[in-house]
Structure 1
Amino acid sequence: MTGEELKEKIIAYSKEIGIDKIGFTSTDPFLTLKDRLIEQQRLNYQSGFEEPDIDKRVTPKRLLPEAKTIIAIALAYPSKLENAPKSTKGDRRGLFCRASWGEDYHRVLQDRLDKLEAYIAELVPEARCQSMVDTGELSDRAVAERAGIGWSGKNCAIITPEFGSYVYLGEMITTLSLEPDNEITDQCGTCNKCVDACPTDALVQGGQLDANKCIAFLTQTKDFLPERYRKKIGNRLYGCDTCQTVCPENKGMDHHNHEEFEPDPEVVKPQLLPLLTISNREFKEKYGPIAGSWRGKKPIQRNAVIALGTYKAEEGVETLVYLLNNDPRPVIRGSAAWSLGQIATDEAVQALEHAHRQETSEKVIEEIDYMLEEFSVK
């Protein structure tokens, strides 16, 4: 079998198993990416979730020395939530980003890669492969860009002509020698809508992201959220879609190609109040299957607390007061103090004054002091 025939068979099989797009590239080092990553480190723009060894991220043969080809795959996901419940006064809801709708994409893409790897083993038993989805050493975006899946947009996402940027990415390093595909020419042009629309100015410029300002990153942190970002997060519980929703290339893009990615509206747009008192077991049962649960319930609960404050949701006061007085986690108590200060009913203010007398955490006391000072100024 020639390399061309083998490639055609792999492409055909990928369609059979539900891979929406596939591309091929060499295992040459990603030299341009290396320069960018070094600059990101210098500017302290990294999130800390990345592989710290830059050489591993840009040198595929560090992972599989005899590798010759990288196979990149993409699966499209929906952008519209059908039968979405409304967030109304007295019944406020939070929101998980689109990339967390349905079953955790890591599992779904890994399933497709495992099937593809098994198929390759049938065709070429001596072939060696190594797959990864998001958490591997390589940059999914850099691989997908070079393999012709799409171009790297100013919003730091891969934009495909067929599905916009609403795609999950994965890749497989292999010892097979297959003809590489051509890159797609950048189509962003002079458009700067994503950079202009970013709520926290995290897109420093087209294609450069300060992850520490990015709402998608901030919603996944476990510590106190910087006060300047709290209202900007709004009702987001996990992730942020702003730089995708404003992108002209995503207009009309809503692909329901995979049953696994179909969202449960009550999971991805849940009521805020029940989240505040949900048990670990209940959280795992309801939210465990989605990607947005990977950091546990603490960040989700903190974000829900902040969303209630941003909404000035008076129906949340009783629960927030309970958290302020009883929750063992300082981050939750401090966030509750901030939200009570935003709601600012008499009951909320009295609760802050009472909590100030019994609180032991310096950080929580700072949050309470800040809100009480706001009231004194008013």
Structure 2
Amino acid sequence: MNAEPVIESLLAEGFSLVSIRHNRETGTMLLAALAYDASPPHDLSKARDPHALLAPFARAHYYREAVNRLESVLKGPLTGQGRSSKTIRFFSNSRLPEKLYAQEAGLGFAGKNSLIINPRAGSQFILAGCIIPGEPLFYPPESAGPWLINPREPGPVLCSTCGACEKACPSRAINGKGYPRSSYDRTRCLQYYAARLEILPARIMDSWGYILYGCHKCQEVCPYNKEAPPAPESADSVTGYLGPSLPVRRILEAGNDELRLFFKGTALGFSWIEPLVLKRNALLAAGSRRET
């Protein structure tokens, strides 16, 4: 099957980057990037009703949305080739080395913050893909949409000389001196602790701010994101929409089962995100607000 119409369909579905590559050992791998809406508002707090913030990538279930769109586009080609969708592994936010896959596929290079950056599309997107075992499904076996880069060439010099993300990181998780080999310490990153049920280091608590889940500071200041086109649709049109912030009181007063039910089908509904973690995060956010 010709890869070009499939890539065009994926771009029409809102994906900004698409790459198809075939490997004799694993089969065909399709990688795509779906931009998320990072536009304001970012905080819906009102007087005596403080909110805790959600990073833009967590305001809707972009991971599920991306997989759903991949499945809808590929269902026809798979059926036409006599292949069952049960043999295909779709993934997004998985245990697979998705960032490494993305670099090898030419979607972008690793920035100082460890995120994949594309010179044209920026870094405000989530990765998704699928692995199709067997002989190549698409021809040519290596195909790509617009804006991809040569994975064998080094990333742009701008990341080496910029430093904006280092200065913006509230917990100093980014140290550009080791770039491109080692510039990001996840044990100092707020997002690393946002889903972990453990005692937080003092430096993390001191820099927590109003976060419920996710930190976006390094992305807000990245020059590549200032030039990148906006997401093709608003977050409230994506499955599992939660909004930019949630009332602290609602989270603290809810039972664990109630919270699991509330967040089911959202980006906070993953099994590894414990209700107690979200309560702790909400409490830290409330403590950071002077009016509470």
Shorter-chain TM band: 0.7 to 0.9
Bigger proportion of residues as helix: 1
The answer as to 2:170 corresponding to 1:194 is: no
The answer as to 2:191 corresponding to 1:224 is: no
- Alpha-carbon separation, structure 1, partners of 2:267 and 2:242: 13
Q: Which residue of 2 is the match for residue 203 of structure 1?
A: 174
- The root-mean-square deviation of aligned C-alpha atoms, in Å, is 2.7
Q: Which residue of 2 is the match for residue 80 of structure 1?
A: 39
Match of residue 292, structure 1, among 260, 265, 268: 268
Q: Which residue of 2 is the match for residue 233 of structure 1?
A: 208
Change in CA separation of 1:262 and 1:80 when aligned onto 2, cut-off 3 Å? farther
Bigger proportion of residues as strand: 2
Kindly, what percent of the aligned residue pairs are identical?
A: 24
CA shift, 1:283, in A, is 2.1
The answer as to 2:93 corresponding to 1:122 is: no
State the Cα deviation string for residues 288-344 of structure 1 (Å, max 9, x = none): 33213430321111011122223344x4xxxxxxxxxxxxxxxxxxxxxxxxxxxxx
State whether residues 174 and 185 of structure 2, in contact with CA within 8 Å, keep that contact through their aligned partners in structure 1: yes
Q: Which stretches in structure 2 are left out of the alignment for 5+ residues?
A: none
Change in CA separation of 1:275 and 1:130 when aligned onto 2, cut-off 3 Å? closer
Change in CA separation of 1:278 and 1:264 when aligned onto 2, cut-off 3 Å? same
CA shift, 1:262, in A, is 8.7
- Alpha-carbon separation, structure 1, partners of 2:130 and 2:70: 7
Helix, strand or coil: the match of 2:4?
A: helix
Change in CA separation of 1:126 and 1:93 when aligned onto 2, cut-off 3 Å? closer
Q: How many residues align?
A: 268
Q: TM-score, normalised by structure 1?
A: 0.63
CA shift, 1:257, in A, is 2.6
What pairs with 1:115-264 in structure 2 (closer than 5 Å)?
Answer: 115-125=72-82, 129-137=88-96, 139-174=97-132, 175=134, 176=136, 178-181=141-144, 182-183=149-150, 186-187=155-156, 188-205=159-176, 206-207=179-180, 208-251=183-226, 253=228, 254-257=230-233, 259-260=237-238, 263-264=241-242
What pairs with 1:242-321 in structure 2 (closer than 5 Å)?
Answer: 242-251=217-226, 253=228, 254-257=230-233, 259-260=237-238, 263-265=241-243, 268-294=244-270, 295-313=273-291, 315=292
- Structure 1 letter corresponding to 2:163: N
- Alpha-carbon separation, structure 2, partners of 1:312 and 1:95: 16
Higher Cα Rg, which structure: 1
Q: 1 or 2 for the larger relative contact order (CA 8 Å, sep ≥6)?
A: 2
- Alpha-carbon separation, structure 1, partners of 2:44 and 2:258: 21
- Structure 2 letter corresponding to 1:237: L
CA shift, 1:252, in A, is 5.8
Change in CA separation of 1:96 and 1:229 when aligned onto 2, cut-off 3 Å? same
Helix, strand or coil: the match of 2:233?
A: coil
- Alpha-carbon separation, structure 2, partners of 1:218 and 1:82: 24
Q: Which stretches in structure 1 are left out of the alignment for 5+ residues?
A: 29-60, 316-378
Q: TM-score, normalised by structure 2?
A: 0.80
- Structure 1 letter corresponding to 2:280: R
- Structure 2 letter corresponding to 1:302: R
Match of residue 97, structure 1, among 36, 42, 55: 55
